[in-house]
Structure formats: structure tokens, C-alpha cells
Structure 1
Amino acid sequence: MKAVIECATEDECKLSEIELLQSRLSKLLQKKRCLIVLDDVWTEDQDDWDKLRPLFRGGLDGCKIIVTTRSQKIPFMMDFPKSPFYLNGLKDDDCWSLFKHRAFGCGEEEKYPNLTRIGKEIIKKVGGVPLVAKSLGSSVRLKREEKQWLFMRDCGLWEFR
């Protein structure tokens, strides 16, 4: 909330209590049309959502709130959306493109056909989540032994399907 207040006022926000921050932000949003994006939300605590709800009252028609989350529960806790919109994951080819960009240097992919094959097998397990594809690509960037890539492929901790 501090960051939003500072962005809207172009001044440093010295408030620290949640109620004061809410009040200030609510006044800033009052009678204004705005787009609020809450990205990668994780909290499933109803009390947290109850504290935020007053902030989103009082805006003009046309105000929109976008919340991105992996939780199926959050859209229903918020009470705003009439119906949540669920995105599908990326296609394997698109995930592979993200992965290989991180995993290989320029033109290096052709030097390691076995690692390319293993990398494509890894991508089939990430459920189309771009962040996972990029993170896994980064994690094998400096690893050129097959056993290191096979370990990553066979590790089930990050599977999403």
C-alpha cells in the first residue's frame, strides 16, 4: 500500500499502521477511475481480504481489479469477480523456447543433442508455467553433464500435472 500511495502522490509515505494506510489509499482512489493489478497473490486468509475490501469501494464506474494467482480459492474469497477467468499454461513449444534461452548460450543447443532431448522431457512436466520453465532453464545453465539434467528431469518436486 505504501508503494501505491507513493506512486500516486509522488511523495514518500511515512505511514505504517494498516488502518492509516488503508484510509489514505481509499481517499486517493475515491472518485477516480483506476486499474489495480495484484500479481501473484498467495494469501488465502479471509481476514486479509476483508481488510482490503474497503479500499476498492468508492471508485467510478469502469474501475477494474486484476488478481493473478495460482490458488483456486482466492477468487471466491475476494467477492469481487462475477466469474474468474482461468488461464491455460503455455504450449510445450513455447515453454521449450523459454527454457532453452536460459539453459543454453547462443547456438549452444546444437552442441548438446542429448541435453536438448532431456530438456524437452523436462518441459513436458512443468504444466505450461513460464516461471518454472525459465527457472529450470537457469538452474541447468552451467551444467553440461547428462546426469545433472536427468536428475532435474526425474525430480518430482516441481511437477504441475
Structure 2
Amino acid sequence: MDTLSYKTISANKETVNKEWVVVDATDQVLGRLCTKVAKLLRGKYKPNFTPHVDCGDNVIIINADKVRLTGNKWNDRVYYTYTGYPGGQREHTPASIMAKPNGADKLLRRVVKGMLPKNRLGAKLLSNMYVYEGGDHKHEAQSPKAIDINLYK
């Protein structure tokens, strides 16, 4: 039996194959969309996934303002931030975040950030996500391929 053929190949920065993909967020549930986007950013759908390497794809999310939440979560779900000062705890609902400029970008980044590792790799992975509220984006030069996010598990 040839045991050399069973060696595990770990990806590194030079051997990783990063792609550009476009995800349409129209009528997608926020949490379900973001879990799949986080797995795309992390590279978990690839056979050469390596936990400590950025081997995921660059993800472009279009129509982010058309994302939906089930139930009454637009007003009932609460996100907390803390300014660092006494009495500085602030509450934000998804509806209040979406009402601000670049609200869809801030909401999707907040949700996806919670699903990524809490270290420097997670910050690097989050920078590979590009969110646009409309249907057009500025990354045509990278020739991204459009994928159907519903086909991923």
C-alpha cells in the first residue's frame, strides 16, 4: 500500500484559487443568506479548505436593500453597541440600521462578521465582501460569475 498518496495537502497563499462571485440578495432571508456568504468567504465549499488560510472567494452582494426578515424581526430584534462611556449602551434594530445611509451594507456586514472567526483572519475575510444596494456593481473587470445562493447548503 502506497502511504505517500494519502498526504493531506494544505493550501497556502500562493496555491489558493480565489474566484469572484455575485450573489443576488433579492427576497432572501437575511440570516440564511449570510450563513452561505460566510461559508463562501471562508472557503468551506472548496475541497482544499484550510482553516488558517484565506482560501475563500471574493463575494459581491447586489440588491442588498431587498433582503427580508421573517416575522416581526425588523423591529423586535435588537443589536447593542457600547460607546465606552458610562451610560453609552445603544440599541439598534434592523429597521433603524437600514434607514441610515449605507444601511444595507452595515446590516449585512454586522451579521456576516458574527459568523466569521474573531481574529485577524476574520477581519481579512470580511474585507473580501462587497455589498451594493442596487443591481449594479463596479467589479466587471474581475469578470465575476453569478451564482444561485439557493443551491448551496
TM-score tier (shorter): under 0.3
TM-score (norm 2): 0.26
Q: Which has the higher contact order (CA 8 A, sep 6+)?
A: 2
Considering fraction of residues, name the structure with more strand. Answer: 2
Higher helix proportion:
1
Larger radius of gyration: 1
TM-score (norm 1): 0.25
